[in-house]
Amino acid sequence: METRRIQIFDTTLRDGEQTPGVSLQTEEKVEIALALAKLQVDVIEAGFPVASPGDFEAVSQIAARVKGPVIAALARANEKDIATAFQAIKLAERPRIHTFIATSDIHLEHKLKMTRAQLLERAEQAVRYAKSLTPDVEFSAEDASRSDWDFLCQVYTKVIAAGANVINVPDTVGYTTPLEFGALITYIRENVPNIDQAVISVHCHDDLGMAVANSLAAVAAGAGQVECTINGLGERAGNAALEELVMALNTRREYYRALSNVNTQQIYRTSRLVSTLTGIAVPPNKAVVGDNAFAHESGIHQHGVMNNPLTYEIISPETVGVSRNAIVLGKHSGRHAFEERLKHLGYDIDAETVNALFVKFKDLADRKKMVFDKDIEALMVEKAAVRPE
């Protein structure tokens, strides 16, 4: 079986900007979009143009200035939103209109106040209109994971017939779990007769901490596009984290028989750029891009990694653009790691002095959680006091 290419649809600038407390200026959005192009994502969702003049301006700037990826703009399923989205992206090399409407009964009854029949008609009209403006149209069935599966299949059948070339299956409220979501994707493949004319996309939120796992289950079931954000930003608990999804595919490519086009070496710097511009810190224990992602604290682990990184590392830090292992010394560190650190800092000392310094180091590590290079330098200043006669 050959390796499939999974399209990475980045929505950091749209769903990611819906992170509580985040608001980006146009130039900051352009800077992020340029970084995403370098990262080689396939699609950048630049914003929701009808939402505000600022959003319209940012999407227009990105469409005009960022080359490479498809540039998508979000629109509800009505003419005004769709026309405004197209105005904002029309200068893009490859513009995409992404139109959406909710399909679950709870949204139909309490938000849209529409019947299923009315919804079917509206979705079809929206896609037909979008298709008259641009050849690339994505349709999202908001709250798909809580929708009736047969009705969902009817909706997708209609919108594909109307011209949608991507049909998105959002887990809008992060409700689903991997086995169930994989089964839903299989059901759609088996019950939408014209499914071969469209790519199946998924868009998972992280309310139960399963956005990446659900996206991977969907890939295993045949999804061809995954929507995600840098650092997992997004509405409430966020979206599937791009860096985790991409590195899961990269690390387990033989299992999934699928890969992305992302240039993984750009992952770390893109993550830091987004963190700096949004003001949302990356937690130290965050997978792939956290400060501790490649740090080995215990002596046993440090020793193993020094002998062969494969002992405790499934991703080499260089793969995501981190230059070397951040070996943190702490109370669990062994003499070997301590001596290696001294050598790395340029000290060439005899074994007896290392032993004496190691005792001091352990004492310090007991008091301090982490011992940094500057602490070791300070120990060296005291070296005279511990040098053997």
Q: What DSSP string runs through 122-155?
A: HHHHHHHHHHHH-S-EEEEEETGGGS-HHHHHHH
Which CB sits closer to ligand KIV, 29 or 205? 205
Q: How far is the CB of 235 from Zn ion (least distance, A)?
A: 6
Q: How many residues belong to the site for ligand KIV (CB under 6 A)?
A: 9
Q: Which does 142 bind (CB under 5 to 8 A by kind): Zn ion, ligand KIV, none?
A: ligand KIV
Q: Can you tell me the distance from the alpha carbon of 202 to that of 204, in angstroms, rounded to the nearest whole number?
A: 6
Q: How far is the CB of 236 from Zn ion (least distance, A)?
A: 9
Q: Which does 100 bind (CB under 5 to 8 A by kind): ligand KIV, Zn ion, none?
A: ligand KIV
Q: Can you tell me the distance from the alpha carbon of 325 to that of 319, in angstroms, rounded to the nearest whole number?
A: 12
Residue 203 annotated as binding?
A: yes
Q: How far is the CB of 174 from ligand KIV (least distance, A)?
A: 9
Binding mask 99-118 for ligand KIV (x = CB under 6 A): -x------------------
Which CB sits closer to Zn ion, 131 or 203? 203
Contact 46, 91 (CB under 8 A): no
Q: Six-digit token pair at 299?
A: 């002596």
* Residue 15 in the binding site for Zn ion (CB under 5 A): yes
Q: How far is the CB of 88 from ligand KIV (least distance, A)?
A: 16
Q: Which does 201 bind (CB under 5 to 8 A by kind): Zn ion, ligand KIV, none?
A: none
Element (H, E) at 100: strand 95-102
Q: Which does 124 bind (CB under 5 to 8 A by kind): ligand KIV, Zn ion, none?
A: none
Stretch that binds ligand KIV, among 53-61, 166-174, 177-185, 340-348 (CB under 6 A): 166-174
Q: Six-digit token pair at 373?
A: 């290079």
* Residue 142 in the binding site for ligand KIV (CB under 6 A): yes
Residue 239 annotated as binding?
A: yes
Which CB sits closer to ligand KIV, 17 or 142? 142
Stretch that binds Zn ion, among 14-22, 108-116, 181-189, 379-387 (CB under 5 A): 14-22
Q: Which does 140 bind (CB under 5 to 8 A by kind): Zn ion, ligand KIV, none?
A: ligand KIV
- Residue 368, Ramachandran bin (φ over 0: left; ψ between -120 and 50: alpha; else beta): beta
Q: Binders of ligand KIV among 264-283, rule CB under 6 A?
A: none
Strand pairing report for 95-102 and 4-10: unpaired
Residue 303 annotated as binding?
A: no
- The distance from CA 52 to its chain's CA centroid, rounded to whole angstroms, is 25
* Residue 172 in the binding site for ligand KIV (CB under 6 A): yes
Residue type, 87: Q
Of 7, 9, 15, 139, which lies in the binding site for ligand KIV, with binding defined by CB under 6 A?
Answer: 15
Of 29, 107, 131, 203, which lies in the binding site for ligand KIV, with binding defined by CB under 6 A?
Answer: 203
Report the 10 Å Cβ neighbour count for 271.
Answer: 24
Report the 10 Å Cβ neighbour count for 275.
Answer: 17
Closest CA to 267 of 210, 228, 305: 228
Binding mask 288-327 for ligand KIV (x = CB under 6 A): ----------------------------------------
Q: Six-digit token pair at 23?
A: 């608001």
Helix (H, G, I), strand (E, B) or coil at 260: strand
Closest CA to 105 of 69, 71, 79, 144: 144
Element (H, E) at 378: helix 373-381
* Residue 170 in the binding site for ligand KIV (CB under 6 A): yes
Helix (H, G, I), strand (E, B) or coil at 278: helix
DSSP 8-state symbol, 78: S
Closest CA to 101 of 164, 178, 52: 164
Task: Give the residue ranges of the annotated binding site for Mn(2+).
Answer: 15, 203, 205, 239
Binding-site ranges for Zn ion (CB under 5 A): 15
Binding-site ranges for ligand KIV (CB under 6 A): 15, 100, 140, 142, 168, 170, 172, 203, 205
